[in-house]
Structure 1
């Protein structure tokens, strides 16, 4: 009898899951590598040596910012791959490959382009985000965190978090804390101003965590082990939702009441209630491997894959 009741309840949950298609798309000149949202501005980094800025309310491109081409290992001229971007006021950040030894180029754009780091600095930076007008947080391939003083082009600190290879980081809302993920599955919560490790979040992932998000005191992790992890940062306690494939992307809604994970081999996005872990919606339409998901609010999302189409979603779609 218990088995029959359980089967019936599970059937009801599956039946209640809403399947949605994108309400709109944004076509990009290149393959999307990173994406950030600031108010109504969606900033998209591409592998064609530029970022594209979109006004998501008026549905129009407002700006394109290019960086210099690079030479590949064969000596051929080609666009630089912009692998990380950010925006703060009228300042834009562009982190790219240099074509030399795996080292990075870091640019700041405000009316004109200024290079902060080049291949000559021999730095292997994977991700960069603004902290304020004067500082940039850097995530190194070696799983080091550093805080860069923009004016002096010097790091105020650099801290080795572990011996595992870096995967991703995500800042909290006021940019006082950041969570770092790596190939070990352990997540480190770090104080931004000092680089001090405040807490370790572990036990829910046992392999590489490709992506993380950090909202309203909660962290989500997208795992190679097919686990979508959720942690309460204050208590360091967590849980996970099992997927059926490598999970490449995740995002939390602003209140952290909802979480998005790419849970299957078709790159569909599953939306869950973080309290009950029940699936709310299944978003279908991604064409290739998903790399970025962003909640604009509790019901509107943007997602990007390794292609030239950014998808727009609305969970309240009729």
Structure 2
């Protein structure tokens, strides 16, 4: 395992620095982030309800909005396919029902006008477009929406109690997480479940590799990840341990690499081939809320309560070069400088 900390030269350098409320200059933390289709822009949502679109290359804010309802705290965000709208999932900040309700806000990028879809049962923690006119949301259940009409589409009964979902095979298939199994569905034919993966225990997060073969589930109490290989479905799942607090996100970088983030402020990179931890990134100073890949660019990105978005390379040669450049004196032999 290689741990990156302290004075790392560029790996983990902030892409976006702390965001402040323009009225009060109060520092806010990043609750949700998502790139556009070509990776040139980044949509950010903060705990203060500030929504911003950033030019990633120049690290400057292009547009800024404020959710009209102060009780709605952002929990997810995405661009519409034409990038004329931002879709923001929220949770209701009302301590009598804290995470028991949520909203889906639609912000018109040009006018700033915000409209809301019907109230959701719980915090809306995931929004994903699967084609130009269809998107999915997760918030106590999974719902399928028609974008052009802003109307809900019918879904199987199993979607009504699902905790979360993962899209794979280029948006053609979906895996949903229920209380005791993962179900695999064809989004073009939501009539019959294709396959199920049963498990013991309680899991709150799901990620699936692009091929659909590898499945990762996180345990919120034991701070561990269980890996299932669907081609070896009868085998015991592999367990990945290393985080010291609840896992906040899971992301398959490819079929061999899984990345996880946590409330312990760390990001861990796991080898699926060897079932071991390869890297730990520890540049964030507070909870890491999530991860994303930037289209057209290698590596991963993370966003945190510390108010920053950071970029990370997963190329071992790049990492070694950076470390050797920074710590040439102390690692002269290893670097052969």
- TM-score class, shorter: 0.7 to 0.9
CA contact (8 A) 2:180 2:201 kept: yes
Q: Does 2:49 match 1:52?
A: no
Q: Distance in 2 between matches of 1:220 and 1:51?
A: 30
Q: CA deviation at 1:85?
A: 1.0
Unmatched 5+ stretches in structure 2: 6-10, 20-27, 323-337
Instruction: Give runs of aligned pairs for residues 239-318 of structure 1, distance below 5 A.
Output: 239-244=237-242, 245=244, 246-253=246-253, 255-262=254-261, 266-296=264-294, 300-315=299-314, 316-317=318-319, 318=322
Q: Does 2:203 match 1:208?
A: yes
CA contact (8 A) 1:20 1:283 kept: yes
Q: Distance in 2 between matches of 1:191 and 1:67?
A: 37
CA contact (8 A) 2:181 2:198 kept: yes
Q: CA deviation at 1:274?
A: 1.1
Q: Distance in 2 between matches of 1:150 and 1:164?
A: 23
Which of the numbers 157, 168, 172 marks the counterpart of 2:168? Answer: 172
CA contact (8 A) 2:51 2:67 kept: no
Q: Distance in 2 between matches of 1:213 and 1:31?
A: 28
Q: CA deviation at 1:131?
A: 2.1
Q: Distance in 2 between matches of 1:206 and 1:200?
A: 16
Query: CA 1:95 to 1:209, structure 2 compared with 1: closer, same or farther past 3 Å?
Result: closer
Q: How big is each residue's C-alpha offset from its partner over 1:246-282, in whole Å with a ceiling of 9 and x where there is no partner?
A: 33322111x322111247x733222122111132211
Unmatched 5+ stretches in structure 1: 1-16, 73-79
Query: CA 1:103 to 1:53, structure 2 compared with 1: closer, same or farther past 3 Å?
Result: closer
TM-score by length of 2: 0.71
Q: CA deviation at 1:107?
A: 0.7
Q: How big is each residue's C-alpha offset from its partner over 1:61-116, in whole Å with a ceiling of 9 and x where there is no partner?
A: 343342432154xxxxxxx3221111224243222346687341331535335655
Which of the numbers 125, 149, 155 marks the counterpart of 2:152? Answer: 155
2:325 alignment partner in structure 1: none
Q: CA deviation at 1:195?
A: 4.1
Q: CA deviation at 1:43?
A: 2.4
Q: Distance in 2 between matches of 1:202 and 1:32?
A: 34
Q: For 1:81, what is the secondary structure of its paired residue? A: strand
Q: Distance in 2 between matches of 1:199 and 1:93?
A: 31
CA contact (8 A) 2:251 2:259 kept: yes
2:83 alignment partner in structure 1: 90
1:220 alignment partner in structure 2: 216
Q: CA deviation at 1:24?
A: 0.9
CA contact (8 A) 1:19 1:284 kept: yes
1:20 alignment partner in structure 2: 4
CA contact (8 A) 2:54 2:63 kept: no
Q: For 2:194, what is the secondary structure of its paired residue? A: strand
Q: For 2:154, what is the secondary structure of its paired residue? A: strand
CA contact (8 A) 2:52 2:65 kept: no
Q: CA deviation at 1:211?
A: 4.8
Q: CA deviation at 1:157?
A: 0.9
Query: CA 1:226 to 1:123, structure 2 compared with 1: closer, same or farther past 3 Å?
Result: closer
2:8 alignment partner in structure 1: none
Q: Distance in 1 between matches of 2:152 and 2:92?
A: 20
Moved more, 281-290 or 98-107: 98-107
CA contact (8 A) 2:162 2:176 kept: no
TM-score by length of 1: 0.75
CA contact (8 A) 1:226 1:242 kept: no
Q: Distance in 2 between matches of 1:164 and 1:156?
A: 16
Q: CA RMSD in A?
A: 3.1
CA contact (8 A) 2:208 2:216 kept: yes
